[in-house]
Copies of this chain bind each other. A is one copy, B any other.
Amino acid sequence: MDFELYFGGLKLNFEKIWSKKTKFMRESEIRALLKWISQGNIISFGGGMPDPKNIPKKELAEITYNLLLNRGEKILQYSGTKGTLELREELLKFMGKHGIKFESPENIIITTGSQQGLDLLGRIFIDPGDTVIVEIPTYLAAINAFQVYECKFIGVPVDDEGMRTDILEEKVKEAEGRGERIKFIYTIPTCQNPSGVSMSIDRRRHLLEIASKYDLLVVEDDPYSYFLYEPVEFKYLKSMDREGRVLFMSTFSKILAPGLRVGWLAGDREAIEKFCLAKQSMDLCTSQLNQLIASEALRTGLIERQLPKIREIYREKRNTMLKSLETYMPEGCRWARPIGGMFIFVWAPENVDTKKMLKRCLEKYRVAYVPGRSFHVDGSGGNAMRLNFTYPSKEEIVEGVKRLSKAIREEIESS
């Protein structure tokens, strides 16, 4: 007798058992695009992917081969949750050289990409109903990561000098007046994603004054500061922090390769220990192989040699995109000139719904971008779009902007 007959054959009703958190999960517009882009034959201004030509595959192949051959039996075991000491020591030196001093490798935890850093922030700090302050616009995957923990957002607009700290202070006062628990201020001060601006030194100082006055934590997300294309004076917030209230986070995704999934969080030891405790139950540890590839890329100087080359290529690509936008975009479109990073944020005329337009762009024009609304916690940005200029070739940039301009023109005319 076939024992399978015992069962009624009723499918499990999953709806009954999903957690409430699943209601707060949003598919990232970037992730959704990836499916399209992987089909090929699409010019992608979508994700923040490095130029494939900038990935030093030969050097990495050799580094990895030697690591595995010489130390494979150790490297391929579990590592400590906080990360391999070798890498944390290299990071201490690397950050130090760029102006961020920490006492010891114990101030650093390695994360599985900086996305895990964002998830860790949510887990460690956010209870349902807590408030998180972000920039308008800000990185959409940060919004998604925090949102899962059921926070409320306060958005502070960004202008050419970065976050409007005057507005920040007003909003903090109002929120405290309402009895809200503000858990942290999340900022990308340098080469902001998606706006491309950099916070002025005065604003940085003001931000830290406000944080000190209201006893707030500041998270400085810094994936892009190595890609500044203009001689802008800047200091890391973390380097100006004397009260241990800035957590610094960064990643190897842009300076080496996203496929390694290695990022880091650095700050006050008390916080790092808590992150470490939380990370244990999330993935035990980040791949030790990948950590050591990153470590070797720092130790051998590969990354420092790469940075100026990458910067130059990206600067040229940015210029190509700016010029294409000027040449092809219909009247009524505007954009900020990014001083660094990987993106140009473009506003179409107000009647253009970039989310609606995306479908046509993908199917008819074979060009991808990320609609602007996902970057705005206040629901604005419906006529904006984020264009990445680091992944496509220069030829693709020109052609893609041409196609995009046509789509926008059609949109304007049809409405």
Contacts and interface: CB of A to CB of B under 8 A. Distances in A.
A74 interface: yes
A: interface residue count bin: 35 or more
Nearest to A54: B73
Interface string A124-147: 111100100000000001001101
Contact of A11 (B16, B79, B243): B243
Interface in A38-78: 38, 47, 49-50, 52-53, 55, 57-58, 60-62, 64-65, 68-69, 72-78
Contact of A80 (B38, B53, B217): B38
Contacts of A21: 123-124, 127
Contacts of A53: 73
Contacts of A57: 68-69, 72-73, 76
Given A27-B280, A72-B60, A7 B285 contact: no
Contacts of A118: 281
A377 interface: no
Given A52-B74, A125-B18, A268-B14, A119 B282 contact: yes
Contacts of A116: 282-283
B278 A25 contact: yes
A215 B11 CA distance: 9
Number of copies: 2
A260 interface: yes
B212 A8 contact: yes
A257 interface: yes
A70 B127 CA distance: 46
Interface stretch (A28-36, A314-322, A330-338, A339-347): A28-36
Given A12-B215, A38-B80, A209 B6 contact: yes
Nearest to A181: B17
A7 B47 contact: no
A52 B78 CA distance: 11
A329 interface: no
Given A268-B14, A281-B118, A242 B73 contact: no
A287 interface: yes
Contact of A283 (B47, B77, B261): B261
Nearest to A235: B3
A258 to B, nearest CB: 5
A402 to B, nearest CB: 25
Given A31-B81, A61-B68, A112-B112, 11 more contacts: A11-B243, A17-B183, A19-B149, A34-B80, A49-B78, A57-B73, A61-B69, A78-B253, A141-B280, A141-B284, A259-B289
